[in-house]
Amino acid sequence: MKIILSGASGTGKTTLMQSLSSRLNVDILNIPTTKYLSKYQIKSQDDLVKKGIENPEIVAEFYHEMITERCSLIEYNDNFITDRSPIDSIQYYLLQHVYFNRNCENLIKLLITKSIDILNENVYIIVLPIAEDFNQNNGIRTLNNGYNKYYQISLLHLYDDLRIKYLYCESLPKDMDERINELEFFINKKITGRIGIIS
């Protein structure tokens, strides 16, 4: 089974990935981004946006390399859970950088085609909801809740437009054990679509 947790920053993807990995007895697939951040000398999300304004071609190369490797790792590995899909990265690129790089249409098409090819019926995608009470500044990143909500809506539309199946829950239990139980049930049943308030 291939499980991908998707969604905006701060939705708890990494924490849930670690808990679900143990519960479901699947490996964690670490998809490296630090080597690309180092290669292109990107220090933070803000720095990435700044570089996108100053040198959009370099940022296009960054996304191309990173998403291509992400697709390859998902395609050639089995029985894993990971905490971001290629579509997440494409959506960030669309929102943050395409305005500054009008010549990236062919790259976007290429990355989308690669993603669709590997996000098939063998991959189960869960888009996690944004926690309303999430701490906006966790010492590492300061999150803009308005931007996160806009990103989340855009991400769901992109999945829909590409006809990629996914599960999206409007809400999940605050208790971590209950949250894991709910997600384990959905994963085992391979339920997809948009679901309203979860108990």
Q: How sure is the predictor about 183, in pLDDT bands with cuts at 50, 70 and 90?
A: very high
pLDDT tens digit sequence for 25-71: 999 998 878 889 899 898 887 888 888 888 888 889 999 999 999 99
Give which of 144, 129, 159, 29 is closest to 83, Cα–Cα.
29
Asked if residues 27 and 72 have their Cβ atoms less than 8 Å apart, the reply is no
What structural domains does the chain harbor? 2-195 (3.40.50.300)
CA–CA dist 152, 121 (Å, integer) = 23
Burial label for 33, CB within 10 Å (0-12, 13-18, 19+), is middle
Confidence (pTM)? 0.88
pLDDT digits (tens, 9 = 90+) for 86-135: 999 999 899 888 777 777 888 999 999 999 999 987 899 999 998 765 44
Res 99: pLDDT: 73
Partners of residue 6 on adjacent β-strands: 127
Which has more pLDDT, 32 or 149? 149
Q: What pLDDT score was predicted for residue 62?
A: 92
Token couple for 35: 């080597």
What is the pLDDT at residue 164? 95
